[in-house]
Amino acid sequence: MYPRLCIDLGRLQHNAKSLLQLASPRGISIWGVTKVLCGAPAVGEALRAAGITTLADSRLDNLRKLPTAEKVLLRLPDPHQAESVVRYADWSLNSELTTLQALSQAAIAAGKRHKVLLMVDVGDLREGLWPDEVIPFVRQALGLPGIQIGGLGTNVTCYGGVLPDPTNLGVLVELATELKRLGLVECEVISGGNSSSLELLQQGKIPRGINNLRLGESIILGQETIARRPLPGLFTDAVMLQAVAIEVKEKPSLPIGTIGQDAFGNSPEFVDLGVRRRVILALGRQDVRLDGLLPLEPGVRVLGASSDHLLLDTSDYPEDVRVGQVFSFGLDYGALLAASTSPYVVKEFRKGGN
């Protein structure tokens, strides 16, 4: 069945293991982030097999499905769901006292202790307390039974595109030191960001004291996320998308007639390259994001797509193309997210490896 998202579990396992080997000698643990593959249990198993003991996801539905492990809810909890949060997650990321109060009550009712990673906004302007709010916030949170402040974390390169650096990550370490000095909290985890922090890690520039990273894209796509450079020794092709040719015809590259708007309200422009061999794939915007598709066969170019049809120019492809032929694509994060969350795309997990 196509379109099909092929996920090579052996390669994911290899990537996770390589990242552990990079991080462990520097005293940094890894939380394995599964959200872009919708918390697929097979992916969780592969990360566990690589030696990752904590799995993190943005959605409770995904955490529930994942195999047994220490589990972290990455998105700030909805206070209405406090009961499910303490049931399915050992940790959650937090920045609101109202939510902590709800989690506290839910934890007591469940007879559990729920750990909290307090998020600090060091400038990216997504989630988190402003640094000078942290100590007063912790003083209040310490009065709540059933929850434990397990540490501090920050998230960068998400909304504002702010890069992690020794200064902004240093803010976390200073706050953790201050919390300890005041006798308030001994942080178990000081989490210095996501896959965008790997470049600092490789350069040995992560401030001492940071002892955790939360990694998703680097495990799955084998790249860091500042310049999107491949990480040495990691597979960048652990996931690929496949779709089937449903029409193969020679057609002119310029449409014939007056050009108005396309199916999505854009006014397209065309360059006349003469008659080209065009292929229609049974794939469209309901399945994937066009921009992030990278054809894996040589001489294949993506021309465009509507909801259900993807047009290729295969004039430079060295062989004949037949109806029914399968074409393969690499994906960037956005395209992978779309394919992974599309109910029309079949997910195939392969044992794989090298």
The residues, any chain, with a CB within 8 Å of residue 149's CB and separated by 6 or more, are: 115, 116, 118, 138, 141, 142, 185, 187
| Annotated catalytic residue within 17, 35, 71, 115 | 35
- The binding site for ligand PLP (CB under 6 A) comprises 33, 35, 58, 74, 93, 155, 194-195, 214-218, 225
CB of 178 to ligand PLP, least distance (A): 23
3-state secondary structure of 216: coil
Q: Which is nearer to ligand PLP, 75 or 180 (CB)?
A: 75
CB of 298 to ligand PLP, least distance (A): 30
The residues, any chain, with a CB within 8 Å of residue 72's CB and separated by 6 or more, are: 31, 54, 55, 56, 57, 89, 90, 91, 92, 93, 117, 214
Return the structure tokens found at 260.
């108005």
How far the first Cα of the chain sits from its last, in Å, is 24
- CA-atom Rg of the chain in angstroms: 23
Q: How far apart are CA 117 and CA 195, in angstroms?
A: 18
CA nearest 214: which of 26, 54, 40? 54
CB of 56 to ligand PLP, least distance (A): 7
Q: Is the dihedral of CA 148, 152, 157, 162 positive or negative?
A: positive
CB of 96 to ligand PLP, least distance (A): 15
CB of 93 to ligand PLP, least distance (A): 6
CB of 308 to ligand PLP, least distance (A): 29
How far is residue 46 from each of residues 11, 32, 53, 319, measured CA to CA in Å? 9, 10, 11, 37
Instruction: Please identify the residue of the shown chain whose CB is closest to the bound ligand PLP.
Output: 216
Q: Which is nearer to ligand PLP, 198 or 280 (CB)?
A: 198
CA nearest 252: which of 275, 236, 268, 230? 275
Q: Which is nearer to ligand PLP, 118 or 243 (CB)?
A: 118
b/e per residue, 241-266, with b = 16+ CB within 10 A? bbbbbbebeeeeeeeeeeeeeeeeee
Q: Which is nearer to ligand PLP, 199 or 217 (CB)?
A: 217
Q: Which is nearer to ligand PLP, 75 or 249 (CB)?
A: 75
Cis, peptide link before residue 3, omega less than 30° from 0 = yes
CA nearest 11: which of 35, 31, 29, 37? 37
Is residue 113 classed exposed, middle or buried when 0-12, 13-18 and 19+ CB atoms within 10 A define those classes?
A: middle
Q: How far apart are CA 197 and CA 156, in angstroms?
A: 9
The residues, any chain, with a CB within 8 Å of residue 89's CB and separated by 6 or more, are: 60, 63, 71, 72, 73, 114
Q: Which is nearer to ligand PLP, 33 or 173 (CB)?
A: 33
Does residue 35 carry a catalytic annotation? yes
91 DSSP assignment:
E
CB of 217 to ligand PLP, least distance (A): 4
Q: Which is nearer to ligand PLP, 34 or 104 (CB)?
A: 34
Q: Show which residues are catalytic.
A: 35
